Structure 1
Amino acid sequence: MTAEKILVVEDEEDIQELLRYNLSREAFKVTCVDTGEKALKQVAAEVPDLVVLDLMLPGIDGLNVCRSIKTDAALRDIPIIMVTAKGEESDVVTGLEMGADDYVTKPFSPKIFISRVRAVLRRRTEPAPAEDGVLTVKDLSIHPGRHEAKVKGQKLDLTFTEFRILQILASRPGWVFTRGQLVDAIRGEDHAVTDRSVDFQIVGLRKKLGDCADYIETVRGVGYRFHDDA
């Protein structure tokens, strides 16, 4: 099996070496660059399976690198994990809205970092669930056609918005969805939803999920995700 290619974009030597060492130890093929300009040239020269992208870079910053990749039809499917410093919550939200897949905050555990990398690569190869098919995750089953959700076989009494939020989160376990992304998905059905109301909907949804309430994880300052045990 061919080793998956990972491009690390990080200008701090010690962190770059930490990432390179841990990824190489897991048998990934790793290329490291230290500027946004070099990152874009490398991506164009050899498309990686994943980009690990520091947001604070000299020259072209990480957000603009992310934007360039995600707006290029030939490159936009490349998954991106952002590496951020504390206090960059607004940048995290912006990056996720652009299409980045996940993020880790400095300082981070190498073990957790590798787990995030594997989860993102695994999700890249997983087919999206059929819109009209039954989605089953853990003790939860969701039937879009019937607009019905059950926990351990028991039907849940959900509002339209609660059902849509649950369906969106459960369709991609481990993915972080910002409040804005959830709002946009629901507004597509011409329902009035705001960022603040998403929080209230989550509170109500968790109550109805009962023992399974912890399936929905709050990502502080960013949004929500369906808990990924892996």
Structure 2
Amino acid sequence: MSSFAEVVCVMGKNSQFSQLSKLIESEHLKVHCIDNSDEVISIIQQRKPALVMMDLLLEGKDAIDLLKEMELKGLRRFCSVVILSDRRENYVEITALNSGADDFLVKPVNKRVFVSRLRAWMRSHATLRGAISIAKNGEEIVLDRDRYTLITKGEEYLLQRKEFEIISLLASKPKKVFSRDEIKELVWGEPNHLVRNRTIDVHIRNLRVKIGRRYIKTYKGVGYSFDTSLSN
């Protein structure tokens, strides 16, 4: 894992980052912790981290507000964002994912689970960094890895990192049905029990809102595939 990669931690109430930062450093990553939400955007612009981790509840702006601001300023293309919260309600996680978070962790976070997730996030960053654009000839679709965009029929759709990874995976083998377990392993690089099915379903739903339903076909009880028919 590159010693140059950096993680920015935005600390809020009941933060666990004082302990987690030591685990991050043990993975040969730089850590920059801040507790002022007003500084987050400028810090990200300056340092361009591979990963931003935020407590949900912050002093001033909350993590959801910051996610929206990062999106508006085009800062989501080069970093993953993970939200941490001690709230266990399903709607809290769904709100975070719908707002653009790549992942969601419930505090207190198990140390072994955290290290496993951290390694997966960084593998994802290393895989996408420097990747080239790809085209699906005959399917009227281009997936631009440099800008995380899907381009079709003159329309361009900007995607979040995990959304882009999922659609890229499905498009890599058109008509193959990928189970949720396969998506967990290939996109998150995680053992099946560490990523919830709901996390995948939320990202799929968000993709359909952005690019329409015609690209992703659902096989109930099985998984998802990339639909090459492109029918509306």
Please classify the TM superposition score into its range, dividing by the shorter chain length: 0.5 to 0.7
Structure 1 counterpart of 2:111, which letter? Answer: P
Residue 87 of structure 2 aligns to a residue whose secondary structure is coil
Residue 80 of structure 1 aligns to a residue whose secondary structure is strand
Q: Give the structure 1 partner of residue 47 of structure 2.
A: 46
Q: Take 1:185 and 1:123, find their aligned partners in 2: how far apart are those partners?
A: 22
Q: Give the structure 2 partner of residue 158 of structure 1.
A: none
How far apart are 1:85 and its partner, in Å?
A: 1.7
Q: Give the structure 2 partner of residue 24 of structure 1.
A: 25
Structure 2 counterpart of 1:91, which letter? Answer: V
Q: Take 1:190 and 1:60, find their aligned partners in 2: how far apart are those partners?
A: 36
How far apart are 1:143 and its partner, in Å?
A: 8.6
Q: Give the structure 1 partner of residue 64 of structure 2.
A: 63
Residue 59 of structure 1 aligns to a residue whose secondary structure is coil
State yes or no: 1:188 paired with 2:188. no
Q: Take 1:51 and 1:115, find their aligned partners in 2: how far apart are those partners?
A: 16
Q: Take 1:113 and 1:143, find their aligned partners in 2: how far apart are those partners?
A: 27
TM-score, with length taken from structure 1:
0.61
Q: Take 1:16 and 1:80, find their aligned partners in 2: how far apart are those partners?
A: 15
- Residues 27 and 202 (structure 1 numbering): CA distance in 2 closer, same or farther, change over 3 Å? same
Question: Contact 1:55 / 1:83 at 8 angstroms: preserved in 2?
Answer: yes
How far apart are 1:15 and its partner, in Å?
A: 1.4
- Which has the higher Rg, Structure 1 or Structure 2? 1
Q: Take 2:52 and 2:90, find their aligned partners in 1: how far apart are those partners?
A: 20
Q: Take 2:121 and 2:53, find their aligned partners in 1: how far apart are those partners?
A: 11
For residues 67-106 of structure 1, what are the structure 2 equivalents within 5 Å?
Answer: 67-106=68-107
Give CA deviations for 1:85-124 in whole Å, capped at 9, x if unaligned: 2334323223222332112111111121121122112112
How far apart are 1:25 and its partner, in Å?
A: 2.0
- Residues 91 and 112 (structure 1 numbering): CA distance in 2 closer, same or farther, change over 3 Å? same
Residue 81 of structure 1 aligns to a residue whose secondary structure is strand
Aligned length: 177
How far apart are 1:40 and its partner, in Å?
A: 2.2
Structure 1 counterpart of 2:6, which letter? Answer: K
Identity of aligned residues (%): 19
Structure 1 counterpart of 2:5, which letter? Answer: E
- Residues 171 and 111 (structure 1 numbering): CA distance in 2 closer, same or farther, change over 3 Å? closer
Residue 88 of structure 2 aligns to a residue whose secondary structure is coil
TM-score, with length taken from structure 2:
0.61
In angstroms, what is the RMSD of aligned CA positions? 3.7
Structure 2 counterpart of 1:58, which letter? Answer: E
Q: Give the structure 1 partner of residue 141 of structure 2.
A: none
Q: Take 2:103 and 2:21, find their aligned partners in 1: how far apart are those partners?
A: 18
Structure 1 counterpart of 2:214, which letter? Answer: E
Q: Give the structure 1 partner of residue 9 of structure 2.
A: 8
Q: Take 2:88 and 2:98, find their aligned partners in 1: how far apart are those partners?
A: 18
Q: Take 2:52 and 2:170, find their aligned partners in 1: how far apart are those partners?
A: 34
Q: Give the structure 2 partner of residue 136 of structure 1.
A: none
How far apart are 1:84 and its partner, in Å?
A: 1.7
